[in-house]
Amino acid sequence: MKIIIVGATSVGTDLAEYLVQAGHAVTLIDHPSEELSQIANRLDLRVVQGDPTWPSVLREAGARNTELLVATSPQDEVNIAVCSVAHALFNIPRKIARMRAPDFLSEADKLFGDQAIPIDHIISPEHLMAAAVVDLMELPGSTAFHSFAKDRITIAAATCVAGGKLIGAQILDLENYDGKCKVLAVYRNGRALTKLENHTLHIGDEVFFCAERIRALNLISALMPLRPTGKHVVIEGGTHVADALALRLSQRYQVKLIEPDPRRVARISDHFRNSKVELYSADASNLDFVMEEKLYQTDTFIAASPKEESNIMSSLMVQRLNKVHTIAIIRQHAFQDIALAGSEIDAIVSPREVIISALLSHILQDSVEKMRIFKQGQAEALELLVQGTTRSSYVVGRKIEDLNLPSGVSFGLALRDKKVVTMDKNFVFADGDYITAFLNDRAHMRALVKLFKPRAFWLPRW
Helices (H), 69-172: 76-90, 102-106, 108-111, 125-138
- Beta strands, E only, 206-253: 206-212, 232-236
| Cβ pair 174, 209 in contact under 8 A | yes
Percent of the chain at pLDDT > 70 equals 97
- Cα 167 to chain centroid, rounded: 29
112/83 Cα distance (integer angstroms): 11
305/235 Cα distance (integer angstroms): 9
205/224 Cα distance (integer angstroms): 11
Give pLDDT tens digits along the chain (462 positions). 899 999 988 889 889 988 888 888 999 999 988 888 888 788 889 999 999 999 999 999 999 999 999 999 999 999 999 999 999 999 999 999 999 888 888 888 899 988 899 999 999 988 899 899 988 988 888 999 999 999 999 999 999 999 999 999 999 999 999 989 999 999 998 899 999 999 999 999 999 999 999 999 999 999 999 887 789 999 999 888 999 999 999 999 999 999 999 999 999 988 888 889 999 999 988 889 989 888 888 999 999 999 888 898 899 898 888 888 899 998 877 777 776 666 678 888 988 889 989 998 888 777 889 999 998 888 999 999 999 888 889 999 999 999 988 888 999 999 999 999 999 989 999 999 999 999 998 888 888 888 998 876 554 544
| Cβ pair 134, 177 in contact under 8 A | no
- pTM, whole model, 2 decimals? 0.87
- Cα 115 to chain centroid, rounded: 30
pLDDT at residue 293, as a whole number: 87
Entry field: residues in the chain: 462
Helices (H), 400-458: 445-452
pLDDT at residue 342, as a whole number: 62
- Beta strands, E only, 160-277: 181-188, 191-192, 206-212, 232-236, 254-259
Q: Which of 151, 187, 131 is nearest to 408 (CA)?
A: 187
Q: Which of 222, 139, 150, 143 is nearest to 179 (CA)?
A: 222
Amino acid at 336: Q
pLDDT at residue 461, as a whole number: 47
DSSP count for the chain of H helices, then E strands: 15, 22
Q: Which of 310, 305, 299, 300 is nearest to 339 (CA)?
A: 310
pLDDT at residue 60, as a whole number: 96
Burial bucket for residue 401 (CB in 10 Å: 0-12, 13-18, 19+)? exposed
SS3 of 292-334: HCCHHHCCEEEECCCCHHHHHHHHHHHHHHHCCEEEEECCCHH
pLDDT at residue 462, as a whole number: 41
